Structure 1
Amino acid sequence: MKDLKSLIRTIPDYPKPGILFRDVTTLLGDAQGFKAAIAQLAEPFRTIPVDAVAGIEARGFILGGAVADRLGCGFVPIRKKGKLPWKTIGEEYTLEYGVDVIEMHEDAVAAGSRILIVDDLIATGGTAEATAKLIRRSGADIVAAAFVIDLPDLGGLKRLDAMGVKSHTLMAFEGH
């Protein structure tokens, strides 16, 4: 079994100077690594009822879809504003230089359904927090959130924890 952390490519100074971008596409491209990552993301939830996985655009679609298949449940895409074709509900979140909006179809989750949030990485937690708020506004319950990578110095997991959302991560990288 390969060390999954060794399959993450680090790209310095992307998207701006001083940032070390943690690229999961190299993990996704490795068949054994991808399979192992999906198994490890899904494992804590294997015996817990999950009605759907909410995958956050874009790498969360790849990971979330595979986790949903592994758990035998549905999949809900969480997209940037204006990308979904049906009636949507949205949630704003703060970016470094402004505000953005994520959306899901208004009928994507039923009240009382149990949702697992999945994405490739959690940094500041803004998108994950907005996703959690969107799901709760729909009347659904959040089982947890699962990420391949945590950047603990940026505090995203603490932000979710403050909302009462438990999180599962496969690895952490110090720094930004």
Structure 2
Amino acid sequence: MSKTVKDLIRSIVDFPHEGIVFRDVTTLFADAEGFRMAIGQLLAPYKGERIDKVIGLEARGFILGGAVAHQLSTGFVPIRKKGKLPGAVISEAYQLEYGEAVMEIHDDALTPGERVLIVDDLLATGGTAAAAITLCQRLRAEVMGCAFVIDLPELGGRKVLEGLGMEVHTLCEFDGH
């Protein structure tokens, strides 16, 4: 029996806090066949579309986004946590469960009219991805969609992103958070 992407994701109970089940994609990344399958499935809806850059969100989105960009023969742009990028950046704050975080992109990473795809491992509340969408749009790029390995539907991230007019593509879902 062949494995699915979901089969290759390890669940770790009570990490990083009690009551949380952490969905660990490193086991997926370590399986060569599974990793290739995930990359193929992430980019499948966008084959034939013009994608100028793939945007990867810190940190596991760098791994996935880099591989997707390679397969699409396009550029890769990281969006990082505040203070991690050298040079001139633009910033966008977003809400966390307890507090606020800030994401940044180089101010010259995208040019007006470029078509971009946002990639990350996990869609939870949608805050990080929404901040990334805003950053790309502030640089006048066109966000073609958002692709994630995992969706946690109970946390409502898909609805947030779809409410921003985004197409959302996920490979699997897990209950809880």
Give the structure-2-normalised TM-score.
0.98
- How far is 1:75 from its partner? 0.4
1:46 Cα deviation from its structure 2 partner: 1.1
Residue 138 of structure 2: aligned partner? 137
Q: Give the counterpart letter for 2:41 in structure 1.
A: Q
Match in the other structure for 2:66: 65
Aligned equivalents of 1:88, 1:36: Cα separation in 2: 34
Please give the secondary structure, in 1, of the residue aligned with 2:51.
coil
Task: Find the aligned partners of 1:86 and 1:61 in 2 and give their Cα distance.
Answer: 19
Query: Deviations for 1:146-175, whole angstroms, at most 9, x for unmatched residues?
Result: 000000000001000000011100000011
> Where in structure 2 are there 5+ consecutive unaligned residues?
none
Separation (CA, whole Å) in 2 of partners of 1:110 and 1:70: 22
- Specify the alignment match of 1:126 in structure 2: 127
Deviation at 1:53, TM superposition (A): 0.4
Q: Distance in 2 between matches of 1:138 and 1:3?
A: 37
Letter of the 2:95 counterpart: T
Q: How does 1:7-22 map to 2 (within 5 A)?
A: 7-22=8-23
Which amino acid in 2 is paired with 1:18?
G
**What residue is the counterpart of 2:176 in the other structure?**
175
Distance 2:98 2:169 in 1: 29
> Match of 2:76?
75
Separation in 2, partners of 1:25, 1:137 = 32
- The AA in structure 2 aligned to 1:65 is G
Q: Hey, what's the Cα distance between the residues in 2 that align with 1:142 and 1:93?
A: 18
* Number of corresponding residues: 176
Percent identical pairs in the alignment equals 59
> What does 1:30-69 align with in structure 2 at a 5 Å threshold?
30-69=31-70
Q: Measure, in 2, the Cα distance between the counterparts of 1:154 and 1:115.
A: 25
2:39 aligns to what SS in structure 1?
A: helix
**Residue in 1 that maps onto 2:30:** 29
Cα deviation, 1:63-107, whole Å, max 9, x if unaligned, reads 000000111110000000010011000100011111110001000
The whole-number CA distance in structure 2 between the counterparts of 1:123 and 1:100 is: 15
Deviation at 1:2, TM superposition (A): 2.0
Instruction: Give the partner amino acid of 1:100.
Output: A
Q: What is the CA-CA distance between 1:3 and the residue it aligns to?
A: 1.6
Distance 1:3 1:55 in 2: 23
Where in structure 1 do 4 or more consecutive aligned residues deviate above 2 Å?
Answer: none
